[in-house]
Amino acid sequence: MKDQVDGILQQWKQIKPELDCSSMGVVGRLRRVDNQWKQQLDTVFKKQEMSSIEFDILATLRRSQIPLTPTELYKTLMLSSGAMSTRIEMLVKRGLIERVYSEQDRRSCKVMLTDQGITIIDLALHAHLENMDNLLKPLNNDEKNQLAALLKKLLLAQQ
Amino acid sequence: MKDQVDGILQQWKQIKPELDCSSMGVVGRLRRVDNQWKQQLDTVFKKQEMSSIEFDILATLRRSQIPLTPTELYKTLMLSSGAMSTRIEMLVKRGLIERVYSEQDRRSCKVMLTDQGITIIDLALHAHLENMDNLLKPLNNDEKNQLAALLKKLLLAQQ
DNA sequence: TATTGTTATACTCTATAACTATA
DNA sequence: TATAGTTATAGAGTATAACAATA
């Protein structure tokens, strides 16, 4: 069975027979899968009225179990400090998080989930997990583990 | 050896022991790999003074071997017609493509690579292939083929 | 009326840097 | 001086819809 990438590789083979495009068969497919997944994941986030970044902020706070500073958050999530401030302000306005100002260092604050924030992120997490389970339906358990192992090898190599 | 995703999964296990987060181990890793790759691919495109979308337009024209209409291009590359018009105009201004107006249907045109466009995309393609080869260095040939096969299975299932 | 392609508008998101307050 | 966090600005990129020309 042929997918779109097979067609693309075949076209290149015709016009550039001397080139080895095999890496495109891996990279191109991974980027396409990511693109499809990204869209489906965003659909579910939108239903909870949040962006994927906002989900990541709330989820990071939830699983840390302790309040984090904006600096810790933007470094973890690889955003600029300005972008993080904007996102935090949005979530504060919606009552999902609150800022707790430090006693020791009065420049600093910690970002903390509100009760409502915890409720919302727990709901969103459930929907997100179900969504990801669906994305992986085409693979059996062995294949999922294989895929995870290959991706982990790539991630560990780049760090 | 543990990667970042292992740490995240472990945190969720602590706070939500009843949840099966295994899908996150696959989806999360794929999304992280894509993110890293995207950045490295963009770096090389930037050196050729193009965006990844512009590369895709030029590459699509190159491997098709025939001029394509803006409509064909925006449907293939999944952009809006307006966004495609803007991109085409940029590439025309830089002399990489030109519009050939149709005789049969005077609303329509075909987008064609110029000689300079062919030179540029051929150079960019070489750099891009080399870049992708580097991204896949952590895997041996068997592993690359396994990864491609798993991703293909996912792509075929979603179509 | 429908379609092709362009243009105008508005929106989202971001990085950068200026800025305030504090260390 | 350096750091934590916010705010202001500008930029990139897009989708949407209005538009002109043609089918």
CB-based contact, B149 to chain A, within 8 Å: no
Contact partners, residue B7, CB within 8 Å, separation at least 6: none
Nearest CA in chain A to B78: A35
User: What is the per-residue pLDDT across B39-95, written as a single tens digit (0 to 9) for each?
Assistant: 999 999 999 999 999 999 999 999 999 999 999 999 999 999 999 999 999 999 999
Residue B144 has pLDDT above 80, yes or no: yes
**Are A15 and A88 contained in the same domain?**
no
Number of domains forming the structure of chain A? 2
**Are B24 and B84 contained in the same domain?**
no
- The per-residue pLDDT for B159 is 67
Nearest CA in chain A to B64: A11
Interface of B with A in 85-144 (CB under 8 A): 125-126, 129, 132-133, 135-139, 143-144
- Give the Cα separation of B16 and A125 in Å (integer): 11
**Are A41 and A97 contained in the same domain?**
no
* HEC-encoded secondary structure of chain B: CCCHHHHHHHHHHHHCCCCCCHHHHHHHHHHHHHHHHHHHHHHHHHHCCCCHHHHHHHHHHHHHCCCECHHHHHHHCCCCHHHHHHHHHHHHHCCCEEEEECCCCCCCEEEEECHHHHHHHHHHHHHHHHHHHHHCCCCCHHHHHHHHHHHHHHHHHHC
Nearest CA in chain B to A25: B148
- Give the Cα separation of A98 and A63 in Å (integer): 17
**Are A34 and A90 contained in the same domain?**
no
**Are B41 and B55 contained in the same domain?**
no
- The per-residue pLDDT for B110 is 98
**Are B105 and B152 contained in the same domain?**
yes
In this complex, the residue with its CA at the shortest distance from the C1' of nucleotide C6 is B85
**Chain B interface, best mutation among A34, A43, A137, by max B CB count within 10 A:** A34
Domain range enclosing B121: 49-157
CB-based contact, A46 to chain B, within 8 Å: no
- The per-residue pLDDT for A20 is 98
> A145-156: b or e for each residue (b if 16 or more CB lie within 10 Å)?
ebbbebbbbbbe
**Are B26 and B58 contained in the same domain?**
no
**Are A67 and A33 contained in the same domain?**
no
CATH of the domain at B121: 1.10.10.10
Regions of chain A where pLDDT drops below 70: 159
**Are A122 and A95 contained in the same domain?**
yes
**Are B76 and B56 contained in the same domain?**
yes
**Are A82 and A14 contained in the same domain?**
no
**Are A62 and A118 contained in the same domain?**
yes
What's the CA B59/C1' C3 distance, rounded, in angstroms? 27
